[in-house]
Amino acid sequence: MAKINIIGAGLSGLSCAVNLINKGYDDIHVFESSKNAGGRLKPFFIKEFDKEIYNPHLISGCNHNAFKFLEIIKADKLKKVKFKTSSYNLYSLYKLFMESVLNEPYEIADLKMGNKVLFKTLLSGFDFYLANPYEFIDKSVNYIKNNGGKFNYNHTIKSINEFDKKDINIIATDAFNLRKLLNLDFEIKESPIINVHFKYDLGSDFIMLCPDFAFPCVIFYENGVISITISACLKLIKYDDKNIINIMWKLIQKLFNIKTSSPLARIIKTKRATMKTNKKEIEIIKNQNIFICSDFLDMDLPSTIENSISSGFNIKL
């Protein structure tokens, strides 16, 4: 069998490696420019909080590839979510769902695509699970290593020509790195996500939908940390960090009747959280020994964890 090089150790790259190992491929090498795997899902240490946290992600029960992936790596500790909500206005909840799934302002979002996801979600019982990085990342990395796969961290691949011509090369990066690797020029549309974390005790863990806020968001509370995720935030991303923290803390004060001033906080602005490309521009890239998997690849679905995993499972050598 030919050597298989996977460039990128985010969920697309990890799921691709797991999928290929499960099919019997054994000479797999994963290259990652950072010091560990996981992409946007990987946890990070906040010194002021004195703990490791992560930007929360939800996964829908309707995605079969995601759960097939978890079954293969024996990850079975996902937490099923029960939502609270600050409003039961159906239009507001629908709008929040669309913006969260598509990561685009409702006014310009592809509602046809969003409705497709909503329909699948409703058919599955509207089940959602919290995507715990220790289940997704650690167990997939262990599975790959235990089955002969090799990881090359802090290793940036600048050109596909660095590999032997007989190798099979799978690019599992974002669209910008794909463009650099293959020296191509195609249009990329990017959308941001903001995560704000507060160190504050609210008791039992929960997830709350806030559809009627000026900036619709989802609030996650776990182990003494309040995490707020704001999607489709094209306007808010332009605000300075201090202003955003103040806006979000006022929301928390209002919802939970808190009088104290803002506690320790950390804001994470991901300007390229999701990406879109033109399908025809991507299709012309493919040749006999270069394959692509990433969350932006399936233009019929939004760039989500589920799409990342599915892209890895859709690779056919």
pLDDT of residue 66: 86
Mean pLDDT of 191-202: 97
Q: Are residues 266 and 228 in the same domain?
A: yes
The pLDDT-based confidence of 31 (bands split at 50, 70, 90) is: very high
Mean pLDDT of 248-264: 96
Q: Are residues 110 and 205 in the same domain?
A: yes
Q: Are residues 306 and 286 in the same domain?
A: yes
Q: Are residues 150 and 237 in the same domain?
A: no
Q: Are residues 230 and 205 in the same domain?
A: yes
Type of residue found at 217: C
Comparing 131 with 142, the larger pLDDT belongs to 142
pLDDT of residue 137: 95
Residue 280 has pLDDT above 70, yes or no: no
102, part of any domain = yes
201, part of any domain = yes
The pLDDT-based confidence of 40 (bands split at 50, 70, 90) is: confident
pLDDT of residue 65: 85
Q: Are residues 110 and 179 in the same domain?
A: no
Q: Are residues 261 and 155 in the same domain?
A: no
163, part of any domain = yes
- The CATH number linked to 294 is 3.40.50.720
Mean pLDDT of 188-216: 94
pLDDT of residue 298: 67
62, part of any domain = no
Q: Are residues 201 and 101 in the same domain?
A: yes
Mean pLDDT of the chain: 91
Structural domains counted in the chain: 2
Whether the Cβ atoms of residue 139 and residue 74 lie closer than 8 Å to each other: yes
pLDDT tens per residue, range 41-65 = 999 999 989 999 999 999 888 888 8
% of the chain with per-residue pLDDT over 70: 95
Q: Are residues 39 and 9 in the same domain?
A: yes
295, part of any domain = yes
Alpha carbon distance 5, 7 (integer Å) = 6
Residue 293 has pLDDT above 60, yes or no: yes
Residue 9 has pLDDT above 60, yes or no: yes
Q: Are residues 24 and 138 in the same domain?
A: yes
The pLDDT-based confidence of 281 (bands split at 50, 70, 90) is: low
Comparing 207 with 183, the larger pLDDT belongs to 207
Q: Are residues 125 and 164 in the same domain?
A: no
Comparing 129 with 296, the larger pLDDT belongs to 129
147, part of any domain = yes
Domain housing 222: 79-130+189-273
59, part of any domain = no
- Containing 140, the helix (H) or strand (E) segment is helix 139-146
Q: Are residues 125 and 41 in the same domain?
A: no
List strand residue ranges (DSSP E) for the chain, in order.
4-7, 28-31, 44-46, 51-53, 58-60, 79-80, 83-85, 128-130, 150-152, 168-171, 188-199, 206-210, 217-222, 225-230, 265-277, 290-292
The pLDDT-based confidence of 288 (bands split at 50, 70, 90) is: low
Count of CB atoms within 10 A of residue 166's CB? 8
88, part of any domain = yes
- The CATH number linked to 103 is 3.90.660.10
Residue 278 has pLDDT above 80, yes or no: no
